[in-house]
Structure 1
């Protein structure tokens, strides 16, 4: 499979998860509010609306390839947070629900991994990263994002001093 076709498929599949979830929250804000309240989150109605808007906007961003890296990183962090807030340690005492939550936690972690891979690859193979950083030269390390920010800081703005 050509690299760009694989990246497009990854973007479509990852966007589908968040768009469908955001639309589901939009379709049943009362149910989502109840779920967030059951997790003990403060202002569950506000959380439901924030999650709905975030999932739809970030999902569209991934789908359209607009600010893909930023959206993928934000969605990866969101997925990890959702995994631990919504699934870690849930349903203690009920083996079937504990198994389901364990599977959902691992799924969220795997989605975060796919999003981080997309953040590194970008929306299209061979396209340069933000501020002219070459995607093929970037390394995945703790300095990955600082490297991007540093290259942006060094980029001429076109303004005279």
Structure 2
């Protein structure tokens, strides 16, 4: 793989990591909004699940950023994106007392979030399949193992 291709993969990893590092940190420091969404979906232990989601997002985001265990993390994030898209962003949103115009906007945004989640799942499948590139901890570990052998 060329240096240019490896640099593009690095940029892609940086961009793919930012959302999960940011969102995970937010859930860990203030889980209330996420806990409300989880409870609204009928799931138990909403606050605990919000913290677990935050930890998962933050740790996997860092792993993508540095290129650590990228294939495993890529598949895990692809499944996470598909699951959360299907559970939290499919269907219509009904907020009691909100005007119809606001609900229309919220439902349009929810549809965009569903598409975003499925699109990200595709990006993480690519990352899991083709790997993190040369500028990653995974690549450095392969070199270290090869030198030791």
- TM-score greater than 0.5 by the shorter chain: yes
Question: C-alpha offsets along residues 82-117 of structure 1, whole Å, 9 cap, x if unaligned?
Answer: 101111003167322211111100011111111111
Match of 1:22 among 16, 24, 44: 24
TM-score by length of 2: 0.79
Aligned-residue RMSD, C-alpha: 2.0
Aligned to 2:12: 10
Residues of 2 paired with 1:75 and 1:106: CA distance? Answer: 15
8 Å contact 2:81–2:120 — kept in the other structure? yes
Question: C-alpha offsets along residues 62-86 of structure 1, whole Å, 9 cap, x if unaligned?
Answer: 1111100100100000000010111
Aligned to 1:107: 116
Paired residues for 1:148-159 under 5 Å: none
Given the alignment of the two structures, is residue 64 of structure 1 paired with residue 73 of structure 2, yes or no? Answer: no
Q: Which protein has greater RCO, CA pairs closer than 8 Å, 6+ apart?
A: 2
Instruction: Please state whether the residue corresponding to 1:2 is helix, strand or coil.
Output: helix
- Which 4+ residue blocks in structure 1 deviate beyond 3 angstroms? none
Higher helix share: 2
8 Å contact 2:41–2:87 — kept in the other structure? yes
